[in-house]
Amino acid sequence: MPASVFPAAAPAAPQAPSDPAAPRVRRGGGFRPEIEGLRAVAVLLVAAYHIWFGRVSGGVDVFLLLTGFLITGSLVRALERDGRIGLVAFWTRLARRLTPAAAVVLGATLVATYLWLPSSRWADTIAQVRAAALYHENWALAAAAVDYLAREAAPSPVQHFWSLSVQGQFYLLWPLLVVMAAWVAARARLPLRRAVLAMAATVFAVSLAYSVWITATHQAWAYFDTGARLWELALGGVLALVVHRIDLSARLRAVLGWTGLAALVSCGVLVQVSTLFPGYVALWPTAAAVLVIVAGTTGSRFGADRLLTWRPLTALGGLAYPLYLWHWPVLVCYLHLTDRTLASPVGGALVLGLSLSLAWVTSRVVEAGAERLTRGRFAPARALALTAALLVPVLAATVLWSGRITEEREMRAEEARQPAYYPGALLVSDPSLGKVLRDMPVRPDPADAREDVSTHHTRGCHASIAATEVTVCEVGSSDAEHTLALVGASRTAHWYPAVFEAAQANGWRLLSFTKSGCQFSTETPTRDGGQPFPECEEWNAGAMEVLERERPDVVLTSSTRASAGGERVHDGFVERWRQLEELGIDVVGVRDLPRRDSAGAECVESRPLEECVSPASYSHAATDPASRADLPGNVTTIDLTRHVCPDGACHAVIGNVLVYWDHSHMTATYSRTLAPALEEALREATGW
């Protein structure tokens, strides 16, 4: 992101060449006006693609490359000039330059979240703000990216801080590596630049190889992985050490400059950056930036630098960092308040205009003020004090607010356990209960919905996307007359509270083990994006080993899979049930519930309840496909759809209880109220 394109050392005065034959790239650390223009182009691409197209442009990759380019050059020049790098001074200068604007934006985002975003998004936003302030937002987003249950979460207003986190980690690591390379050079009597170049090239090669591998296997994780991004910064470092050796004609440099600009602008149009990066495909925008930097300042009226050194563009380049920080939270708030997924032409212009205004004020007031406050004696100490003064209140606010949310959530959870006021599914079976219901608030509250999970999840028996180990939760006596195993994906796991209540009431032994996004099937599994899913295949094999060892009387699992494209019984389901038949295990297949056309919690928070109804036909077949399938003799199917979507209508709230917390998963509170209906269905299916 733009933060890093400020070198640690103060830039030299601008030196515009007056002759096309002037040196193409300065050998010193002089100011390069074309880089200011390149920053402006990159941040405009980032903002425009986010605002109007809902896509990623590749502009952030340019900022990562520029980070490596400018920081490496600054560090090497310091070593050549002083024989050492003042690490404390280096880090405190960066803190003074980066922290004030970031802290102001984070604080403003907390205020905007409270004022304009639904309470269902508060807890996540608070956690993201804390991660952003502590420079590990990329890892928080990486964990969320592989969390199947978080995949439908609305975008965080600070998720763009991931790149700043990557850079923050780079700022800690890179000076240490440069110092190590300098130490080796001194001991081996090697030229300093050659040693640093060898180090940077090694990091580039190792990181790129890792990036290609991890992107192919876990792209969602790789997108935010520092190790998979480090090569982009290292490439900038390599370029900083060799660019002064590149001597090309003015005509060729003009061609390179325009080629680089064209490649950069077209990247987001021609490449789906968000699903393909950061592997070798990210060489597209980074190589484009390399071409522009190699072209340098030609002084030719035909060169790309004529555009890049245009005063309005270089002025915008000076605002690149605060503009990047502001555009995303402004956009997220706008989209929520207007109930849009993309900005309109006029709305987008307003978002960009407001972001530019805030960036200008931030630059003139916040950044300039921070620079004035940290001048003179004790500058490092002043910079650290300023950093603490700005970040500590933000962090304190997140801690206090999170604590308050937790307290309120616990109070609401106790309220929801009063069946007289929160009957949930019981109201479907006995409409007369509606006569005694008071005008009670919905429980779980939409703000609590994502946290309304069962002990099956909290005990770790629901495996994440990346996990392969089967962790079995067991309740009930080992010598119980009947043993029931709940096995499947997350839309099997959401039945657990009802199954648990039924098992407890009847003295059954209950085993449960499930995995996100992983169907209990023999088919070769894939992720939602079509990528291989070896973790699911391994987990399925482990699940069968557990079942073969435990030999439960019945396996309860999903019999169909419903999606916006329709509902069907997978062949792999049937084949898996035949394998269980060979083990002497019966199967009770519970029909998959309909998916909603909107997230339940957010709808309840933003609209009247009568508008939060989704037709079951959105994802359900007219009749249960399992009832028409050729099933093995050990399989009995049950259908509880009418208890969740009575008369074909999936209401967001039934009996004062929130039914779905997202588009497809029941809240644990509502699932618990299904226990009598599920118990009756299980007894009928099993004869217990």
Which domains can be identified in the chain, with CATH numbers? 2-85+137-336 (no CATH), 426-686 (3.40.50.2300)
| Position 145 confidence tier, pLDDT thresholds 50, 70, 90 | confident
pLDDT of residue 682: 95
Give the whole-number percent of the chain exceeding pLDDT 90.
66
One-letter amino acid at 322 equals P
DSSP string, 8-34: SSPPPPP---SSTTS-SS-SS----HH
Distance CA 200, CA 195 (A): 9
Average pLDDT over residues 475-482: 91
Q: How confident is the model at residue 283 (pLDDT cuts 50, 70, 90)?
A: very high
pTM (predicted TM-score): 0.80
Helical spans, DSSP H, in 83-161? 87-116, 122-133, 137-145
Can you give the length of the chain in residues? 688
Instruction: For residue 606, name the pLDDT band (cuts at 50, 70, 90).
Output: confident
Buried residues in 531-563 as b, exposed as e (16+ CB within 10 A): eebebbbbbbebbbebbeeeebbbbbbbbbbbe
Q: What is the largest CA-CA distance in the chain?
A: 93
Distance CA 536, CA 258 (A): 47
Average confidence (pLDDT) over 146-153: 52
- Using the Cα atoms of residue 443, residue 448, residue 453 and residue 459 in order, give the sign of their dihedral: negative
Closest by CA position to 90, among listed 28, 6, 14? 6
Whole-angstrom distance, CA of residue 108 vs CA of residue 102: 10
Phi, psi (rounded to 5 degrees) for 657: -110, 130
From the list 137, 72, 50, the residue with the least C-alpha distance to 102 is: 137
Q: How far apart are CA 496 and CA 453, in angstroms?
A: 10
Per-residue model confidence as pLDDT tens digits over 308-339: 999 999 999 999 999 999 999 999 999 999 98
pLDDT one-digit tens code per residue, 551-567? 999 999 999 999 888 89
Q: Is the pLDDT of residue 661 over 80?
A: yes
Tokens of 571: 């062949």
CA angle 430, 435, 440 (to 5 degrees): 105
Q: Give how far the C-alpha of residue 336 lies from the chain's centroid of Cα atoms, to the nearest Å.
A: 18
Question: What is the average per-residue pLDDT within 109-130?
Answer: 93
pLDDT at 6 (0 to 100)? 34
344's tokens: 């309109």
What whole-number distance in Å separates Cα of residue 301 and Cα of residue 307?
9
pLDDT of residue 20: 29
Res. 589: pLDDT tops 50: yes
The percent of the chain in helix, strand and coil, each rounded to the nearest 5, is: 60, 10, 30
Place of tokens 């061609």: 255
Q: Is the pLDDT of residue 628 over 50?
A: yes
The 10s digit of each residue's pLDDT in 88-117 is 889 988 988 999 999 999 999 999 999 999
